Amino acid sequence: MMKSEVTYFFVKTDWIKALAVIKNDNNKIVYIRLGQNEANLLKGTLAWFEKVTKKKYNNMSYHLNDESKFKDKVKLHEIKNIFVSILNQEKESPNELLEFELITGTDFQKKVWIEISKIKHGKTLQYSDIANNLGNPKAVRAVGRACGENNLVILIPCHRVLGSSKKLTGFAYGLEMKKYLLKKEKLITMKYDTILYLNEHYYSIKCKCYIVNVLH
């Protein structure tokens, strides 16, 4: 089994913390995790990579290093600044500014993720649109499952994928987070301003708002 050196780093915005992992040999993002507690972010990330190694994706194992061991400090600083801008919705085409690499997933899942990565800031698609674009209109549920396995949240913007009749359905970080992200992109309007309450577990979110209209 081949070994790949990867580096994780943390960033913080006014609304969320995130951990991202990049490959040392090409500086591409391979994993993103959102939350509020750095210890839990790292714990979840280590568990994910352990699982990936056990499944022997591409016959590859991964050795995680912290950012202090990353040689090109200037490049890392650039990547972190772009990533923060993306999280704050200051950058409209994240996958053009930060390259990513898919290190897990079936062939079909990878096709779904690539298709979702093409959804521009300010736009949404339905699960059925993705299935149709892939030439497999009956694969709507499989598209939904692929969204749930997306480990490059934001860069692969599965929050921009809606259910039938543009309903807000499934999101790995919860529907309230999905609402919040769409509101930041001005894709939905809400009667009240959003207030997020996050504890140490990234998935524990409450949102004092409700959707009035999906704009796209």
Find the CATH number of the domain harbouring 151: 1.10.10.10
CA atoms within 13 A on the CB side of 90: 9
Please indicate, yes or no, if residue 102 is contained in any of the structural domains: no
Cβ contact 194:177 at 8 Å: no
Same domain, 124 and 72: no
pLDDT recorded at residue 187: 61
Same domain, 89 and 131: no
The domain containing residue 66 runs over which residues?
A: 2-97
Neighbour-count burial for 190-206, b at 16+ CB within 10 Å, e otherwise: beeeeebebeeebeebe
Q: Which active-site residues does the annotation give?
A: 158
Same domain, 120 and 179: yes
Task: Select the more confidently predicted residue: 96 or 185.
Answer: 185
pLDDT recorded at residue 91: 63
pLDDT recorded at residue 93: 62
Cβ contact 13:72 at 8 Å: no
Distance from C-alpha of 151 to C-alpha of 156, rounded to nearest angstrom: 8
The predicted model scores a pTM of 0.84
Distance from C-alpha of 23 to C-alpha of 167, rounded to nearest angstrom: 36
Cβ contact 116:157 at 8 Å: yes
Average pLDDT over residues 58-70: 91
At residue 181 the predicted structure's pLDDT band, cuts being 50, 70 and 90, is confident
Please indicate, yes or no, if residue 207 is contained in any of the structural domains: yes
Domain boundary among 62, 97, 132: 97
Same domain, 76 and 31: yes
Same domain, 131 and 203: yes
Please indicate, yes or no, if residue 71 is contained in any of the structural domains: yes
pLDDT recorded at residue 55: 86
